[in-house]
């Protein structure tokens, strides 16, 4: 007969088993792969068969063609697309060809690493089991399941932006961590230039958080390393345009114009015979007396400008319109600010013509927004360390919607991941508070 195991040995084995279950790095990858596997990929392709970015057309085709252009030795022939994603997918395209499923698997890896970083952040600043709730929310979030199937820069952008915050939260903030965060911020900007808003907020955070110590030096190290990382691409654009300064792309000026032009207010949502009205409540009747110079699309200019000059025309028209009609733009900004706070996108947005996607995304985001806001409040009430850093990408995501084109919240995945972290903390605190009368309410240990 085998000798009976002692009680201490049994407890030891049980503890080891629990530690294995708590190995979140392995479980995260396994859960994520199981939830974004081949069947789900083909189900998404079936239900969104008219979605261009799912089937490799539209913006997806533009990124793929740029990668193929680089492979063929023809260079990067666009000033309107950020370069990092085409450069990254250039290598798998060279090995596997234009295989959308391979590019989908790369996005799966991006999402897995994002989740690992978010869990490490949650474990570092929120004690307890908030990270388990975060894991669950992230894996069942419909829009991330949809996003991972798109051949777009968003998944890589989400990874890089999360890595920026993770470096500053998980490491001691010093010269080395600011240098690393700056390099990552530069790469993130090369993936999507709208990260410049978050980059600015992080720079200000370092400056004022550590102003009594060496805040200015830390901020300068972060800022300098960010722009040194971007500089080679800016230099490339300079020579491509015969001396025009274009930091990353021309799209930033066009996106600003879309959110700040009288033309867009009046005509942007008129698609063919589908006249949907004006721009979030500012209709044609309010623009009758506006001169044509403020209402013309830059493409309608008789002498079509070069790519390098179109940026100046977009900005000139936007800023000139804002100066000439401040009351209209004050109304527009109030409407855009209100719209950005909604958990759903505007019904006038032409990018939300797929009502099933818009409905699912809105319903899934609503509880994350509610609990996320509660988590933000509780984290500041309980003086949780580093919570301001987690808030910066949330704020920058919403500022992007207010300043630029306001109807593409789900194409700028900055706010959602960090709102999930705050929501997980809120759910944990509220559950522990209402399930135990002995425990003091809203303690950090919750």
Radius of gyration from C-alpha coordinates of the chain: 24
Length of the chain: 446
3-state secondary structure (DSSP) of residue 48: coil
Question: Using CA atoms, how far apart are residues 414 and 195, in angstroms rounded to an integer?
Answer: 9
Question: Using CA atoms, how far apart are residues 279 and 276, in angstroms rounded to an integer?
Answer: 9
User: Do 357 and 146 form a contact (C-beta atoms < 8 A)?
Assistant: yes
The secondary structure of residue 350, as a DSSP letter, is G
Nearest by Cα to 169 from 426, 421, 385: 385
Matching residue, tokens 């740029």:
66
For the chain, report the end-to-end CA distance as a whole number of angstroms: 47
Question: Using CA atoms, how far apart are residues 425 and 415, in angstroms rounded to an integer?
Answer: 16
CA count, 13 A, side-chain hemisphere, 343: 18
According to the model, what pLDDT value does residue 200 have? 96
CA count, 13 A, side-chain hemisphere, 45: 15
Nearest by Cα to 154 from 257, 60, 76: 60
**288: which residues sit within 8 A by CB, 6+ positions away?**
none
**92: which residues sit within 8 A by CB, 6+ positions away?**
99, 102, 103, 106
Tens digits of per-residue pLDDT, 55-109? 777 888 999 999 999 999 888 888 888 999 999 999 999 999 988 889 988 888 8
Host H or E run for residue 432:
helix 415-435
3-state secondary structure (DSSP) of residue 149: coil
The CA–CA distances, whole Å, from 270 to 206, 296, 349 equal 44, 14, 10
According to the model, what pLDDT value does residue 1 have? 44
Nearest by Cα to 146 from 276, 63, 240, 48: 48
Beta bridge partners of 279: 282
Query: Helix, strand, coil: what percent of the chain each, to 5?
Result: 70, 0, 30
pTM: 0.85
Q: Could you please report the per-residue DSSP string of 272-306? A: TTEE--SBTTB-GGGGTTS-GGGT--GGGSSSPPP
For Cα atoms 288, 272, 305, give the angle at the middle one, nearest 5 degrees: 70
Question: Using CA atoms, how far apart are residues 49 and 149, in angstroms rounded to an integer?
Answer: 12
User: Do 113 and 411 form a contact (C-beta atoms < 8 A)?
Assistant: no
3-state secondary structure (DSSP) of residue 68: helix
Host H or E run for residue 270:
strand 270-271
Per-residue tens of pLDDT for the chain, all 446 residues: 444 444 444 455 655 544 554 555 556 555 555 555 566 777 777 777 677 778 777 888 999 999 999 999 888 888 888 999 999 999 999 999 988 889 988 888 888 889 889 988 998 888 777 888 998 898 888 888 888 888 899 999 999 999 999 999 999 999 999 999 999 999 999 999 989 999 999 999 999 988 877 889 999 999 999 999 999 999 998 888 878 888 998 877 777 887 887 766 666 554 445 544 455 566 667 777 777 777 666 666 555 556 556 777 778 888 888 888 888 888 888 877 877 777 776 555 544 556 677 777 788 889 999 999 999 999 999 988 889 999 999 999 989 888 886 555 666 788 999 999 999 999 999 888 787 755 555 555 45
Burial class (CB in 10 A: 0-12, 13-18, 19+), 187: buried
Dihedral, CA of residue 68, residue 73, residue 78 and residue 81, to nearest 10: 50
| Domain boundaries of the chain, sorted by first residue | 23-435
Question: Using CA atoms, how far apart are residues 314 and 254, in angstroms rounded to an integer?
Answer: 6
């Amino acid at each position: 007969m085998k000798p009976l195991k002692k009680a201490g040995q049994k407890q030891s084995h049980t503890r080891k088993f629990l530690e294995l279950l708590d190995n979140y790095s392995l479980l995260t990858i396994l859960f994520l792969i199981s939830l974004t596997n081949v069947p789900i990929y083909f189900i998404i392709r079936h239900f969104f068969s008219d979605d261009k970015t799912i089937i490799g057309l539209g913006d997806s085709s533009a990124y793929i063609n740029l990668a193929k252009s680089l492979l063929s030795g023809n260079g990067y022939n666009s000033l309107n697309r950020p370069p990092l994603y085409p450069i990254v997918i250039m290598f798998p395209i060279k090995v596997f060809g234009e295989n959308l499923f391979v590019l989908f698997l790369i996005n799966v890896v991006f999402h897995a690493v994002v989740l690992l970083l978010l869990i490490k952040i949650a474990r570092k600043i929120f004690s307890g089991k908030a990270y388990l709730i975060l894991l669950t929310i992230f894996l069942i979030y419909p829009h991330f399941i949809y996003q991972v199937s798109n051949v777009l820069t968003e998944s890589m952008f989400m990874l890089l932006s999360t890595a920026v915050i993770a470096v500053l939260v998980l490491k001691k903030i010093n010269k080395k961590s600011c240098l690393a965060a700056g390099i990552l911020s530069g790469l993130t900007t090369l993936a999507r230039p709208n990260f410049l808003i978050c980059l600015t907020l992080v720079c200000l955070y370092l400056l004022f958080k550590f102003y009594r110590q060496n805040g200015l030096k830390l901020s300068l190290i972060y800022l300098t390393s960010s722009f040194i990382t971007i500089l080679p691409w800016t230099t490339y654009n300079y020579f491509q345009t015969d001396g025009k300064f274009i930091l990353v792309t021309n799209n930033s000026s066009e996106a600003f114009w879309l959110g700040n032009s009288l033309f867009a207010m009046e005509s942007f949502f008129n698609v063919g015979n589908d006249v949907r009205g004006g721009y979030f409540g500012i209709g044609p009747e309010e623009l009758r007396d506006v001169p044509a110079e403020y209402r013309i699309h830059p493409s309608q200019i008789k002498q079509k400008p070069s790519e390098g000059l179109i940026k100046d025309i977009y900005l000139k028209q936007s800023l000139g319109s804002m100066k000439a009609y401040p009351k209209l733009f004050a109304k527009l900004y109030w409407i855009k600010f209100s719209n950005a706070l909604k958990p759903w996108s505007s019904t006038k947005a032409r990018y939300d013509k797929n009502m099933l996607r818009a409905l699912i995304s809105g319903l899934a985001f609503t509880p994350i927004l509610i609990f996320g806001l509660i988590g933000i409040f509780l984290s500041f009430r309980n003086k949780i360390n580093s919570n301001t850093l987690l808030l910066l990408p949330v704020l920058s995501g919403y500022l992007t919607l207010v300043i630029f084109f306001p109807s593409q919240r789900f194409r700028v995945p900055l706010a959602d991941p960090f709102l999930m972290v705050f929501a997980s903390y809120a759910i944990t605190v509220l559950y522990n508070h209402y399930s135990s009368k002995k425990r003091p309410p809203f303690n950090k240990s919750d």
